[in-house]
Amino acid sequence: MKKSIALLILLLTALANAGEPRPPSQVIAEAPAAHWRRAAPENTLYLELENGRVIIELAEQLAPGHVANIKALTHERFYDGLSVYRVIEGFVAQGGDMDGNKPVGEGKRTIPAEFSRKNIPAKQFTPLPGPDGYAPQTGFVHGFPAARDPKTGDTWLVHCNGAFAMAREQSIDSGGTEFYAVIGPAQRYLDRNTTVFGRVLEGMEILQQLERGNQAGGVLENPDNNRIVRMRVAADLPDKEREEFEVLKTDSSSFRELIAARSNRPEDWFVARPDYVDVCSVGIPTRRAN
């Protein structure tokens, strides 16, 4: 019975869509409940800074090793009291253990790179129609902006604003503790040069407020000014300290309609319509669920 009501709603939505094209805001506002998914608390990180909480969703299916490792490090309180020590305007905010001498337990200092994955079925990938200079194909997978090489079957997450990734040294397998978030324009040239393993769901403005570094490489003179109060996995906190989020499913018809609406904005205000949207400009709708 419930299923038939859901089908009826989908049918009505489809009929409604057959009329006038809807602007992005309306597509999002009218997306049926079934097109949203709850961000899993066990794959949600809270990076708590002096000025607020940054909420990150981890991409378990795209980088299982990195997700497991940062959760292990978080469980053992590795990040508490460390800092976001490297902040470069328009580029990245990088945090962790700058000096590299804080002991680790279950979590590892370095883990194998996961620049791309071979085991993501093509049908889980919602492609974008237009060209992309950086990858053979771009689109979305499991709620993250991504790219794909149909020839090799490789899928990888891309460096849009808000991408959450792992810094590394020269060796490709030298990262494990030093995370970074993209805080500026897309940094797509970093794609497949580091492991992207999540994205910021909320709190970009908290990262943007961090002090920029004025030392070589954007490192802060006083990293403690950007202190990490604590890092937690949402599932480990009591209900009242949690914030629940819903993310529009990137394989839903609402999301596909959103892609079309962003490629050709139907609002009268627009006089130029490029019939194109790039992978970092679609924006994956996210809303609070509590």
Structure tokens at 266: 């139907």
Using DSSP's 3-state secondary structure scheme, residue 43 falls into helix
Q: Is residue 191 within the footprint of a second copy (CB under 8 A)?
A: yes
Using DSSP's 3-state secondary structure scheme, residue 27 falls into helix
Which of 160, 181, 228, 258 touches a second copy by CB under 8 A? 160
Which of 280, 284, 285, 286 touches a second copy by CB under 8 A? 280
Provide CB contacts within 8 A for 27, sequence distance 6+: 254, 257, 258, 261
Q: Are 226 and 81 in contact (CB under 8 A)?
A: no
Candidates 230, 212, 181; CA nearest to 86 is 212
Q: Is residue 219 within the footprint of a second copy (CB under 8 A)?
A: no
Q: Is residue 165 within the footprint of a second copy (CB under 8 A)?
A: no
Written as one letter, the residue type at 215 is Q
Which of 155, 161, 250, 254 touches a second copy by CB under 8 A? 161
Structure tokens at 240: 């009242």
Q: Are 23 and 261 in contact (CB under 8 A)?
A: yes
Residues touching a second copy, count (CB under 8 A): 41
Which of 152, 185, 215, 224 touches a second copy by CB under 8 A? 185
Which among 38-46, 57-65, 101-109, 267-275 is the span making contact with a second copy, rule CB under 8 A? 267-275
Q: Write down the least CB distance from residue 205 to a second copy, Å.
A: 5
Helix, strand, coil share (%) of the chain residues, nearest 5: 25, 25, 50
Q: Is residue 205 within the footprint of a second copy (CB under 8 A)?
A: yes
Q: Is residue 149 within the footprint of a second copy (CB under 8 A)?
A: no
Provide CB contacts within 8 A for 135, sequence distance 6+: 147, 148, 149, 158, 191
Which of 9, 11, 90, 224 touches a second copy by CB under 8 A? 90
Which among 55-63, 95-103, 191-199, 222-230 is the span making contact with a second copy, rule CB under 8 A? 191-199
Which of 278, 284, 285, 286 touches a second copy by CB under 8 A? 278
Q: Are 202 and 75 in contact (CB under 8 A)?
A: no
Which positions lie near a second copy, rule CB under 8 A? 89-90, 115, 130-135, 160-162, 170, 172, 184-189, 191-193, 204-205, 208-209, 212, 262, 265, 268-272, 274, 276-278, 280-281
